[in-house]
Chain A
Amino acid sequence: MDKFKKVDGVAAPLPILNVDTDMIIPKQFLKTIKRTGLGKNLFDEMRFTKEGAEIPDFVLNKPQYRNAEILVAGDNFGCGSSREHAPWAIADFGIKVIISTSFADIFYNNCFKNGILPIKLSQSDVDKLMDDAERGANATVSVDLEAQEIKGPDGGTISFDIDPFRKHCLLEGLDDVGLTLQKEEKITSFEKTRASEQPWL
């Protein structure tokens, strides 16, 4: 995984509550056996007509948001299924940061495995950034994970909380499996105890 660097980019507003994983990446695109190439189908049914033509009103189809790197969205973003295709599609499109008041647990977790930073903020901070995002390409937002700070176009700073271990893994681009395998002895020892105490497992 690539190391997470400071993001200075356009923020796209998506003021919808409960954006679910079926919206983010509809099921017909889950048939792939690869992780890559899903960005073109991100928000497919909101972004394209049935015939495949762009729907001009949808935020990511507007010229000023086509290269958005930050998404500002309504409450409970990413609810629904566990499909990691959702963060794969978001990352493949080029979005690196999602800002909302709340995220569904599984989606939130999946973001960190794919170099995406989900940021939880208060309603008033999200409202402020949503207003900034509405201003389009004239309003770039800067997200600094190291400092845990967001700077808006008018210079105001918003700080955010993040789990220190997750922050460390994102900044260093660490591979979870590799980290866990360093604890091989502990796992083996746990398995031995368990096999004697609960032999039916």
Chain B
Amino acid sequence: MALDKNGIAKRIAKELKDGYYVNLGIGIPTLVANHVPEGMTVEFQSENGVLGMGPFPVEGEEDADLINAGKQTITVKDGASFFDSAMSFAMIRGQHVQLTVLGAMEVSENGDIANWKIPGKMVKGMGGAMDLVASAENIIVAMTHTNKAGESKLLKSCSLPLTGVGCVKKIVTDLAVLEVSPDGGFILLEVAPGVTVEEVKSKTEGKLIVPDNVSEVAL
């Protein structure tokens, strides 16, 4: 069975390491915060100027001055800090934030990512996505393998306007876990339970590299 949103988040959470500073994008990436392995300390950064984000507040304790980059009310954990937007992006560009997880509309086999603009549709803006993808050492994309029309989102080259070039390292979809090869191509690392290599192959437009051993995603 293909992974649902929480399954994708849970699989990505396995990439976390103790002491990591992590920036989570809007959507599926946000769910990763719910699956931090027991006994591990991970600090979440939000680019609007907070490090050490906690859970959403309980009703009645919302503070208009305390939000995340998705403009949602949040809380902070002990040890949190606040800072301005220039310092926030200094953390990001300066690679002090060790992992960025974000969604995408398309990823190409050389690691290009498109996730901010669809020509002909209202363009809302890239927000901090271009800064994040251009800077992070480790970028994991969380997305569905195909779009609503059933077309592959893992392509030879992106058809949509790019957010960044050659930056994606790993992709976790509902069907598989893949790594972008430095020489180009998606290396198939794991398939979701019940998903066959053939299915992943048929739904990946870009070059798929299938090693001898492809394990099943373990959550």
Q: Do A and B bind each other?
A: no
User: What is the interface of chain A, defined by CB distance below 8 A to chain B?
Assistant: none
User: What is the interface of chain B, defined by CB distance below 8 A to chain A?
Assistant: none
